[in-house]
Amino acid sequence: MGQKLKIAGWVSVGVVAGALTTVSLQTVARGAMTPLPLEEIQQLSAVFGLVKTDYVEPVDDKKLITDAISGMVSSLDPHSQYFDKKSFKEFREGTSGRFVGVGIEITQEDGLIKVVSPIEGSPAFRAGLKTNDLITKIDETAVKGLALNDAVKRMRGEPNTKVTLTIFRKDEGRTFPVTITREEIKTQSVKGKVMEPGYAWIRLSQFQERTVDDFVRKVEEVYKQEPNLKGLVLDLRNDPGGLLDAAVAISAAFLPENVTVVSTNGQLADSKATYKASPDYYQRRGGGDPLKRLPAALKSVPLVVLVNEGSASASEIVAGALQDHKRATVMGSQTFGKGSVQTVRPLGPDTGIKLTTARYYTPSGKSIQAKGIVPDVMIDESEEGNLFAALRMREADLDKHLGSGQGEEKKDEAREKAREEARKRMEEEAKKPAADRKIPEFGTDKDFQLVQALNQLKGRPVLVSKTLTERKEEKKEN
């Protein structure tokens, strides 16, 4: 299994630029194919011919075929995707932690593109873009109705080229253009510091190629400053995922050697796999074991893992492994629920498809898909409560989402009501002065959830949520 992972291509999980994306395991399909449905193939050929002869204007053959492939794959579930030459390149960039663009993390809201946060030091950061800004136009293209991936493509480009974003800033009630010069963005996925004597905080914002090395360096810095560490908070809030081997490595940093971190199961033999806390499962070809530099004390230091609705895929793998092995107390709110495996298969030198081929399972055998990780201790996002969590999308909210495969989903009747109440609260919040409604930055002394995590490590009382409950899987409509 170790050798199989070493020769694997792109192995990734999660959400890129706020868009829901992937775990990929580069394998070769060996399953026997069933006979092709000839009647349907003939219909496809007939439609192709009709479009070519009857459509109002000529249509390029290649475009018709690639659009048909794209539609076939994307209709399966939210994470299966056709990669043309450009999107395949961008997929690789997303896992490397380097890309050319403006430097913002984004999501979608009411058909518009919402800024989750500008990357510190990026062109967007220097241009003054803020969290919750809405992008209404990219150059001359209206964003309304534009797919998130298409918006990302339009904002990326060649270095030193310009893109004009039209911004609607709710709290100022104004719309204005911002012209930004694209440049290479190098994202920093690991932050951390000693919060107070004996206690430290390390945050992972994404699982990238450099994440494990950066994590090891940050741990070394922490222990150099505080050799007698009494407790550590591993912060995975809003971490959309990334590379599978990085998730296995971060789990292995805290777990006994060779215990199970995560398993996968699907139709193909290669999709039935178990990943363990061993260098064979995360060590890259030609490289050494980066975890050897970690202090031995990290294996036993008291640990809290912070998660929320934005913690997806690789984050859920780590949280689930540490929770199942009782290595950490998981605190926060129920995670996103992205527990499916995507395999990237080449269709040529520059194109391919990303296809859902398996589900992820925690060491105890629980499916992550459409369920997520339920914290040991539910904590609100602020002292006033979890005001806006109902507005956040989770895997179970996505159209055509894959079920968990473990029992029937149940419809949550209260979900839409909670969302409507949260929308009203957000409207009221927007009327307040900006200084009064700014959400404290993660890792500060005003970070409510982090304060509760530190209280947990110290054995002090924790302000447990009075409203958060486990969200059950919702029944899918056929």
Consecutive H or E run containing 14:
strand 12-16
Instruction: Pick the catalytic residue from 214, 235, 239, 324.
Output: 324
Told to judge if 245 belongs to the known catalytic residues of this protein, a careful annotator would answer: no
Collect all residues with Cβ–Cβ distance below 8 Å to 444 and sequence separation of at least 6.
450
Instruction: Based on the residue annotation, tell me whether 324 is a catalytic residue of this protein.
Output: yes
Unique residue bearing structure tokens 């074991």: 289
**CA dist list (Å): 103 to 3, 118, 316, 436:** 36, 6, 25, 27
Which residues, including other chains, have CB under 8 Å from residue 333's CB and lie 6 or more apart?
307, 308, 309, 375, 378, 379, 380, 381, 386, 389, 465, 468
Residue among 251, 313, 340, 465 flagged as catalytic:
313
Catalytic residue among 338, 354, 366, 371: 338
Tell me, yes or no, if 338 is annotated catalytic: yes
Q: In this structure, what token pair is assigned to residue 438? A: 């700014």
d(C-alpha 216, C-alpha 224), whole Å: 12
Measured between alpha carbons, how far is 73 from 76 in angstroms, rounded to an integer?
Answer: 6
d(Cα 121, Cα 342) in Å, to the nearest integer?
Answer: 32
CA atoms of 426 and 419, how far apart (whole Å): 10
Question: How far is Cα 236 from Cα 243, in angstroms, rounded to an integer?
Answer: 14
Q: Tokens 């395991």, residue?
A: 25
Burial letters 316-331, b for 16+ CB under 10 A, else e: bbbbbbbbbbebbbbb
Residues 6+ apart with CB under 8 A from 41: none
Helices (H), 19-147: 38-54, 61-74, 85-96, 123-126
CA dihedral 164, 170, 175, 176 (to 10 degrees): -50
Catalytic residues: 313, 324, 338
